[in-house]
Amino acid sequence: VICDKDESGGRALEQELPGAVFILCDVTQEDDVKTLVSETIRRFGRLDCVVNNAGHHPPPQRPEETSAQGFRQLLELNLLGTYTLTKLALPYLRKSQGNVINISSLVGAIGQAQAVPYVATKGAVTAMTKALALDESPYGVRVNCHWAAWASPLRSGLRQCSWPPKPTSARALNCS
């Protein structure tokens, strides 16, 4: 099952992927998410996995240029959308001992310039994932987080760092 608020894009993907089912859904609208879950159960009789992939990374913006309303809207999409779908899917995931995969971002842990709201929402997704994993483990539901990232010289250099830092790896990136 694929969901999106972009109906034309969702329908195109449904045609492209054999066996895919598209359901129109804006994850910031709880009624849409309820329909998504109930329609999935109606069609398939069970729910084994939820991938919370809806999100948005706004263009670079300094904190003083970001409105509180813009921050709230990003929280609604990146954090509360993930929470709402997970919450509504949990009764079915507990029955199937299923999985939740939350797409977060490496920047939620390491930061990013001119992206305070985005970094905050993705850091919160990571923290929520950890808490959900603890809450759901007694039910056999696995909750994991994937940190999306892009390649850059800094991120490539971070892979060379070990923990605890060794003097030879710390010289280039000051990992100590």
Q: Is the pLDDT of residue 171 over 50?
A: no
Task: Identify the weakest region by mean pLDDT among 67-76, 81-90, 105-114.
Answer: 105-114
Q: What is the CATH number of the domain that holds 82?
A: 3.40.50.720
Domains: count for the chain: 1
The C-alpha torsion from 71 through 73 and 76 to 77, rounded to 10°, is -100
Q: Which residue range(s) make up the domain with 135?
A: 46-151
Question: Mean pLDDT for the chain?
Answer: 89
Give the CB-side neighbour count of residue 139, counting CA atoms within 13 A: 19
Q: What is the pLDDT of residue 176?
A: 36
Q: What is the pLDDT of residue 154?
A: 56
Angle, CA 163 vertex, CA 173 and CA 142 arms, to 5°: 115
Mean pLDDT computed over 106-123: 94
Q: Is residue 37 part of a domain?
A: no
Q: Is residue 91 part of a domain?
A: yes
Catalytic residue set? 118
Q: What is the pLDDT of residue 163?
A: 46
pLDDT for 27-40, tens place per residue? 999 999 999 999 99
Q: Is the pLDDT of residue 157 over 70?
A: no
Give the CB-side neighbour count of residue 85, counting CA atoms within 13 A: 29
Q: What is the pLDDT of residue 169?
A: 40
